[in-house]
Amino acid sequence: MTSTTQSKAVFYGVGVGPGDPELITLKACRVIQNADVVVYITNAKGHSVGKTIASDTLLGSKATQITLPITISMSIERKAINSAYDKAADTIKTLLVQGYDVAFLCEGDPLFFGSFIYLMDRVSPSHQCKVIPGITSVNAASAQLATPLTMLSEDMAIISSRSDDKKIRDTLVHYDTVAILKAGPQLPRLMELLSAAKRLDDTQYIEYATHENERVVTDLSQMTNEKGPYFSLLLITRPHREYRCD
């Protein structure tokens, strides 16, 4: 991603991790604190997950730093979202032309279902973009559940709850480990699919992994017809795993 403008300013996608502020990397902390402008997404009520995670880090930023909230409603309808990304990208490009380094705060990892992806697509043709990786929700869930994701010959798939029933059924059949992201709003449907695939007992559920309001459910029979928040996932593993290999 080489800049085609005279400005040497950089647009950084900074992963701030899944929720626990102590999981922000040293590099992410340095980039955030040294950036001229810090950009983050807020919902309609003005709340930003990324900024909340990085709040302690931002306290150490240079005095001249500017913060720029961008309001985007994360609905499935893409026209309004794309319009918001277009407008935000234009603002970011203007700042870059003026010589300001811009850091975009992204919960988890910027290139793992991250909003930064859509801004990078719009900004990178004319400006330099760099990515600072962060810990994903899948890795955080694995750690919080003390459940290995893969070992030896096991394979793994990561799938969105928005996938159709056939895709989810096929994934449950063919992969040893499956992580279903954004699971909460689709829980009743997903539990039916898990039951049909005989993998309901293999499944653990976690909301807001590493946040203060984290919730873990290891017995999904307790969640009949219950829905959960967007920031949640199901982790499905095989009941018998080869911890030792002769």
- 198-233 per-position pLDDT tens digit: 999 999 999 999 999 999 999 998 888 889 999 999
In this predicted structure, what is the pLDDT of residue 216? Answer: 97
* Cβ atoms of residues 211 and 137 within 8 Å: no
Q: What is the mean pLDDT of residues 50-74?
A: 92
Q: What is the mean pLDDT of residues 171-183?
A: 97
Nearest 5°: phi and psi at 46? 90, 5
How confident is the model at residue 234, as a pLDDT? 98
pLDDT tens-digit readout, 136-176: 999 999 999 999 999 999 999 999 999 999 999 999 999 99
- 3-class DSSP state of 237: coil
Instruction: Say what the pTM is.
Output: 0.90
Query: Average per-residue pLDDT in the chain?
Result: 93
Give the integer Cα–Cα distance in Å for 51 and 15.
Answer: 11
Give Cβ neighbours of residue 56 (< 8 Å, ≥ 6 apart).
21
Task: Judge contact between 227 and 190, C-beta under 8 A.
Answer: no
pLDDT of residue 244: 59
Domains, the chain, ordered by start: 10-135 (3.40.1010.10), 138-236 (3.30.950.10)
Provide, rounded to the nearest whole percent, the portion of the chain with pLDDT above 90. 83
**Beta carbons of 37 and 102 less than 8 angstroms apart:** yes
- pLDDT > 90? residue 2: no
